[in-house]
């Protein structure tokens, strides 16, 4: 199946700072990628759809000014958590589009 | 809301077959049944998908009832490494906006 990578795999940051998470499709071109968030002991929740060359579409309740998504190329989508707070601590996962959806390994964000 | 219902947890002895059920009574004619699993602190791993026929690959078999309202994922010889949360999802083929339910936590024991 398709290979999706994420970087970093884990990150710790201080409250008020911004964190960028990268999602790369390694063996295919992705015009669309998806960003999910997973809190402990909960299921994955879709946050937004990342569209190459255009604006992302966000799910209801997700602040687009807080979670900035950039999809500047067919192999890279980035999620920037701006002015992070402890409640943003979570496991962030990206997924590919087309046919079967494949997922990255996830990024664990801890905001202190 | 997720379109599927699954038991919250199941146990299986190592080496035995694990049969994980899923109900999807409102599935549409063009929707596939997808199965993923998530091992602790990792991204979901694709297992198998099907439309109406039974499917088998190197990981598992998928049995879909004739009315398509339910399905069963079969891991023929479970190992300890199969311990994970298994998600059954219905969606059209070009998957988008996958809606994850709570899944089934499968515990394989020695």
Beta strands in A1-112 (DSSP E): 4-7, 10-13, 19-25, 32-38, 45-51, 57-58, 67-73, 76-81, 90-95, 107-111
Q: What is the CA radius of gyration of chain A?
A: 13
Place of tokens 């198998």: B48
Residues of chain A with C-beta less than 8 angstroms from the C-beta of B41: 91, 106, 108
Three-state DSSP at B8 gives coil
Mind listing the pLDDT tens digit for each residue in A87-111?
Answer: 999 999 999 876 788 999 999 999 9
The 10 Å Cβ neighbour count of residue B106 is 21
CA B46/CA A4 separation, integer angstroms = 12
Mean pLDDT of A28-44: 91
pLDDT at B1 over 80: no
Our CA angle for A109, A7, A73, nearest 5°, is 125
Residue A81 vs residue B3, higher pLDDT: A81
| Dihedral over alpha carbons B65, B66, B70, B73 (to 10 degrees) | 30
Cβ-based contacts of B100 with chain A (< 8 Å): 36, 43-45
| pLDDT tens-digit map of A16-34 | 999 999 999 888 888 889 9
What is the predicted pLDDT for the residue at A26? 87
Put simply, the answer to whether B42 touches A106 (Cβ < 8 Å) is yes
| Residue A31 confidence (pLDDT) | 84
pLDDT of residue B95: 61
Beta carbons of B43 and A43 less than 8 Å apart: no
Q: How far is B67 from chain A (nearest CA, A)?
A: 23
User: In 3D, which of A20, A36, A27 has the Cα closest to residue A5?
Assistant: A27
Predicted local confidence at residue B98, as pLDDT: 85
């Amino acid at each position: 199946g398709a290979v999706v990578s994420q970087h970093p795999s884990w990150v710790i940051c201080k409250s008020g700072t911004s964190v960028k998470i990268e999602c790369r499709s390694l063996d295919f071109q992705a015009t669309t990628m998806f960003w999910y968030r997973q809190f402990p002991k909960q299921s994955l929740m879709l946050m937004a759809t990342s569209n190459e060359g255009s604006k992302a579409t966000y799910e209801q309740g997700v602040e687009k000014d807080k979670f900035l998504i950039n999809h500047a190329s067919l192999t890279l989508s980035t999620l920037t958590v701006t002015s992070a707070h402890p409640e943003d601590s979570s496991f962030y996962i990206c997924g590919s589009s087309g046919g079967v959806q494949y997922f990255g390994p996830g990024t664990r964000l801890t905001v202190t | 809301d997720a379109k599927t219902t699954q038991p919250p947890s199941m146990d299986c002895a190592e080496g035995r077959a694990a049969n994980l059920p899923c109900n999807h009574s409102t599935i549409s004619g063009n929707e596939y049944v997808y199965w993923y699993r998530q091992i602790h602190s990792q991204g979901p791993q694709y297992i198998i998908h099907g439309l109406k026929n039974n499917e088998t690959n190197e990981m598992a078999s998928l049995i879909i009832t004739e009315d398509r309202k339910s399905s069963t994922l079969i891991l023929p010889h479970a190992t300890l490494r199969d311990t994970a949360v298994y998600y059954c999802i219905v969606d059209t083929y070009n998957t988008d906006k996958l809606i994850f339910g709570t899944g089934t936590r499968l515990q394989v024991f020695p």
